[in-house]
Structure 1
Amino acid sequence: MPDTSIHKPTNIIYTGVAGTGKTYRLLQIAKQYTDYLPRANDEDLLKQLLQALSWRDVVCLIFLDLQSNHQDLVKVPEIVSHEFFVAKASQNARESNLSSTAWLELRRHSPADSKTVSFENRASQAYFDKDNSGAWYLLPESMALLTGLSQQLEEFQQAKRDNNTSQNQVFSQQRFSMVSFHQAYGYEEFVEGIRPVMAASSQSNNLNNGASQMSYAIQDGAFLTLCQRAANNPKQRYAMLIDEINRANVSRVFGELLSLIESDKRTGMANAMTINLAYSGRTFSVPANVDIYATMNTQDYSLAPLDMALRRRFRFVDCPPQPELLPMISFNTKEVEAPKTFASDDSEIIDLARLLTGLNRRIIETLGVDSQLGHAFLFSVTSLEQLQSALVEQIIPQLAQVTGGQVSALQYIFKDAQQPLSAQFIQDSQALVANDENHQIGMKNNLTAQGQVLSGHNSWLGQSMNTGGYKINDDLVTKTGEFTKPITYQRLY
């Protein structure tokens, strides 16, 4: 678990085969980056929201708040009377010239090519413009710069709703973001990208004044948004949680940030680096109070070319199977007992820990350590029926995939080679056909002796032949026969 008192950035990837609890670790880490705080009243929430904001931020926040209520065009009196503006004025002990303050911020942050706003000392970044009716609107291209403010507003609005609907006096505040990588996940979702934005028409003479129009703007992704929150709150630690990091093209997802995430390249560190982002061109550096945790399935080799690049930036923590966490199934009581030592020889007990250990020992001998089964495959098993289902629906299909369906390998893993067909977990289809042929030939000879050979019998025998391959024992599927006996499973130890 992370120690949030340590200020050196943490980059860790938890590695292991499927079912070893890697994602569970991320969920446990998320709790370490969650604050459970006394619920504040609406006035306190408003104070917390506005405390560190500039007048420009407050005006932007007002536009975002009104947009959430489907109002895109705003006039100055509405801005000055908004609760955010009133509360900020109160915090600053301001009572006069409030309209002038609003006008100044709007004009200073208008675009140089505005057709309706004249101003000499404009700021370098534009946020607002005015239409011919005198109503102001938020520039669509500025939305990418306001992701952090948008999230703060959402948290404020949610906290107010919780105050109105919940009797709970405690609320949670998350200082993490969790994503799952996949083949289509890219830089645009993680860092920044161009996405469609709905904005109101700025033409006052438009018959559909106020109707939404689609434009495209650069918007922040999950990691950039988290970094902005962390930069605004440097006394707290934040975490980026990535599940299945090797499912995506990591170099494409991180882009130029792959160098910035190194511990000594963070903001304020010895070798701090700043780069210009690919789409917006903004300067950016990863805050030192952002930790990165990820999971990686070692059975997926798609990450191999990037292994060395990642190892320079992450610590790798192995997550092996933990069979000791598994219980025992008692045939007498049909209940699960607490884990025992491997010395138990009770004939009415199936020790799931020993069963998984035995399977994995033979898997390693046959396929290697990266093909082992994680304890999660059996973690929720509490009865014989559930064990049978886990074998049929999860474990055997998993092993069939990694062995390429090779009957000899599967039978070795399940110790089937010396067992009668009726007790084999994995059956050889050709052996079944041969056994069936012998049975049919015996029947044919018997019928011939009685002069009762059926004319279509030979053609039926030919149709029963197949090309071979593995087959799960029908009795295991139907939970009958030898698979109702403890000894059938105990031999897997």
Structure 2
Amino acid sequence: MSNMPDFSVHKPTNMIYKGVAGTGKTYRLLQIAKHYTDYLPKVNNEDLLVQLLQDFSWREVLCLIFLDMHNKKKDLLKVPEIVSHEFFSAKAAQNARDKNLNSTAWLELRRHSPTNSKTVTYKNRSSQAYFDKDHSGAWYLLPESMDFLTELSQQLAEFQQAQRDNNINQEHHFSQQRFSMVSFHQAYGYEEFVEGLRPVMAASSTPQHSQPQMSYAIVDGAFLKLCQRAASDPEQRYALLIDEINRANVSRVFGELLSLIEPDKRDGMANAMTVNLAYSGRAFSVPANVDIYATMNTQDHSLAPLDMALRRRFRFVDCPPQPELLPVISINAGLEPANEAESIDLAKVLMGLNNRITQTLGAEAQLGHAFLWSVYSLAELQTVLIEQIIPQLAQAAGGQVSVLQYILKDEQQPMQAQFIQDSQMLINHDSSNKRDSQNNITAQNPLFVGHGSLLGQPMAAESYNINTDLIAKTGAFIKAIVYQRLYP
């Protein structure tokens, strides 16, 4: 991805990705997070089996098989079952054996049978018996031998747990994260970010007071916790990822840490600084192996402005819309565009809209490519226009019909082909029956009608309608040419 940091550089990085909504800023943070993630190595269960059996004798392997089958509620085993067990097969493979395996099993079973066995005759018995055979020819583990198999049983349990853990890791891709991600908002403060007083419920220490008692304790915030982890692991890099950094009062959130995050003032650097934290009074400095990445939506004029001091401490990276990432779609869902007349180039749609948005509302009102990122059919394009793009433009334009119609190139179009219709002109144009029909359709969903407001936001005195044919996905809006006119 373009504008990604150089992760091979081992010095502190402070970076803010800024741009309009829908330009992939948060996506960049998620991609950066992957570079601060240690994925657990994949281990084959066969490798775990090799590790388990490599130092075991044939007698121990047989005992292991009986213990394993006992856990599966089967205590009587005939030789073919024993030889086909994965433990026996794996041990044979380790010893490069593929012949006379039944004989090997018979020999070990008889060698470790009791002298008073009524079913097994053998001269050179071992001093310790583990197995015996019933009259059906099925072998079993002697109950009294269990006292000698405690360690082996524990090794089997650890192996089976390792297998379960490994299977879970393979399925869920378990990993160790060396990052923390937070989203700033207007109420986010120093207490959540660095440290603050928090209520703590504790059980009463006296029988007379059975209700939990509430007290207050100093609790570490997200950044402080991350720094503590980084300080104890100096060979690895850690990252703080902040989404929408300008939504909070950054001076209040960072507090005395605002100076400490500068690369040259980190712990161990040339101009290292240490401060005493506001609540605990602890001496603290930011580790040099902590990187900070953030996003900033440049459309958010109503929110707290970014502190100029923060601008000096971060590199700013512009994230413009990238229409070149968007596909060409067909008006026939699921089919490749047969020719230009049946296709809609979403890159050209976005470029055309943004050109006219920039002319009328300014560059900071542009649409990001993410608005059209998941569009692969005409129906999806129609839905995005109705539910996202037009409401976004209406809010940016304050509901001014003339501006909306200019952006959507509606001015010279017949009313039936206009994306946005002037409500008054529509009333004058339509017959009363048609007027009533359209009112019934649009009244079903107030999102589609801009009579002085949109989603609770104040609008200009002008009012507009989204074309009911666009809402119904009929009429002129089933043709590619209607959308092609949005091109530059």
Task: Give the TM-score, by structure 2 length.
Answer: 0.66
Residues 20 and 367 of structure 2 are in contact (CA less than 8 Å); yes or no, is this contact kept in structure 1? yes
The aligned residue for residue 488 of structure 1 is: 482
**What is the Cα deviation at residue 362 of structure 1?**
0.5
Residues 201 and 39 from structure 1, CA distance in 2 versus in 1: closer, same or farther, beyond 3 angstroms? Answer: farther
The aligned residue for residue 180 of structure 2 is: 177
The aligned residue for residue 281 of structure 1 is: 281
**Which residues of structure 1 form unaligned runs of 5+?**
41-159, 338-343, 442-464
Which whole-Å CA distance do the structure 2 matches of 1:162 and 1:30 have between them?
28
Among candidates 369, 379, 396, match of residue 402 of structure 1:
396
Which whole-Å CA distance do the structure 2 matches of 1:360 and 1:373 have between them?
6
Residues 23 and 320 of structure 2 are in contact (CA less than 8 Å); yes or no, is this contact kept in structure 1? yes
**What is the Cα deviation at residue 302 of structure 1?**
4.6
Which whole-Å CA distance do the structure 1 matches of 2:161 and 2:241 have between them?
27
**What is the Cα deviation at residue 326 of structure 1?**
0.6
1:194 aligns with 2:197: yes
Summarize the alignment of residues 9-408 of structure 1 with structure 2, pairs less than 5 Å apart. Answer: 9-38=12-41, 164-167=164-167, 168=169, 171-203=174-206, 206=207, 212-302=212-302, 305-332=305-332, 334-335=334-335, 346-408=340-402
Residues 216 and 2 from structure 1, CA distance in 2 versus in 1: closer, same or farther, beyond 3 angstroms? Answer: same
Which whole-Å CA distance do the structure 2 matches of 1:321 and 1:487 have between them?
24
Letter in 1 for 2:213: Q
Residues 237 and 290 of structure 2 are in contact (CA less than 8 Å); yes or no, is this contact kept in structure 1? yes
Residues 304 and 222 from structure 1, CA distance in 2 versus in 1: closer, same or farther, beyond 3 angstroms? Answer: closer
Moved runs in structure 1, 4+ residues, more than 6 A?
160-163
Which whole-Å CA distance do the structure 2 matches of 1:379 and 1:236 have between them?
35
Residues 39 and 163 of structure 1 are in contact (CA less than 8 Å); yes or no, is this contact kept in structure 2? no
Residues 357 and 184 from structure 1, CA distance in 2 versus in 1: closer, same or farther, beyond 3 angstroms? Answer: same
- State percent identity of aligned pairs: 74
Which whole-Å CA distance do the structure 1 matches of 2:472 and 2:318 have between them?
38
SS in 2 for 1:377: helix
Which whole-Å CA distance do the structure 1 matches of 2:28 and 2:260 have between them?
25
Residues 38 and 171 of structure 1 are in contact (CA less than 8 Å); yes or no, is this contact kept in structure 2? no
Which whole-Å CA distance do the structure 1 matches of 2:225 and 2:214 have between them?
23
Deviations 1:249-298 (A, max 9, x none): 11111111111111111111111111111111111111110000000000
Letter in 2 for 1:241: L
Greater displacement, 192-201 / 275-284: 192-201
**Which residues of structure 2 form unaligned runs of 5+?**
44-159, 434-450, 453-460
Among candidates 396, 410, 418, match of residue 412 of structure 2:
418
The aligned residue for residue 148 of structure 2 is: none
Which whole-Å CA distance do the structure 2 matches of 1:242 and 1:413 have between them?
33
SS in 2 for 1:38: coil
Which whole-Å CA distance do the structure 1 matches of 2:462 and 2:362 have between them?
26
Deviations 1:178-198 (A, max 9, x none): 011111111111110111123
Deviations 1:211-243 (A, max 9, x none): 743211000000000000000001100000001
Which whole-Å CA distance do the structure 1 matches of 2:161 and 2:190 have between them?
34
SS in 2 for 1:225: helix
**What is the Cα deviation at residue 208 of structure 1?**
6.3
**What is the Cα deviation at residue 3 of structure 1?**
3.9
SS in 1 for 2:224: helix
Which whole-Å CA distance do the structure 1 matches of 2:397 and 2:385 have between them?
16
SS in 1 for 2:306: helix
Residues 247 and 302 of structure 1 are in contact (CA less than 8 Å); yes or no, is this contact kept in structure 2? no
**What is the Cα deviation at residue 408 of structure 1?**
0.7
Deviations 1:402-432 (A, max 9, x none): 0000011000000000001000001111111
SS in 2 for 1:177: strand
Residues 12 and 290 of structure 2 are in contact (CA less than 8 Å); yes or no, is this contact kept in structure 1? yes
Among candidates 8, 13, 19, match of residue 11 of structure 2:
8
SS in 2 for 1:361: helix
Residues 321 and 374 of structure 1 are in contact (CA less than 8 Å); yes or no, is this contact kept in structure 2? yes
Residues 20 and 374 of structure 1 are in contact (CA less than 8 Å); yes or no, is this contact kept in structure 2? yes
Greater displacement, 163-172 / 175-184: 163-172
Residues 326 and 379 of structure 1 are in contact (CA less than 8 Å); yes or no, is this contact kept in structure 2? yes
Task: Give the TM-score, by structure 1 length.
Answer: 0.65
Residues 298 and 335 from structure 1, CA distance in 2 versus in 1: closer, same or farther, beyond 3 angstroms? Answer: farther
Residues 191 and 223 of structure 1 are in contact (CA less than 8 Å); yes or no, is this contact kept in structure 2? yes
Which whole-Å CA distance do the structure 2 matches of 1:336 and 1:260 have between them?
55
SS in 2 for 1:353: helix
Residues 333 and 377 of structure 2 are in contact (CA less than 8 Å); yes or no, is this contact kept in structure 1? no
Residues 423 and 483 of structure 1 are in contact (CA less than 8 Å); yes or no, is this contact kept in structure 2? yes
Residues 336 and 382 of structure 1 are in contact (CA less than 8 Å); yes or no, is this contact kept in structure 2? no
Deviations 1:344-403 (A, max 9, x none): 971111111101110001001111110000000000011111100000000000000000
Letter in 1 for 2:239: A
Residues 278 and 302 from structure 1, CA distance in 2 versus in 1: closer, same or farther, beyond 3 angstroms? Answer: farther
Which whole-Å CA distance do the structure 2 matches of 1:2 and 1:435 have between them?
57
Letter in 2 for 1:314: F
Which whole-Å CA distance do the structure 1 matches of 2:405 and 2:309 have between them?
40
Look at both structures and tell me which one has the larger radius of gyration over its CA atoms: 2
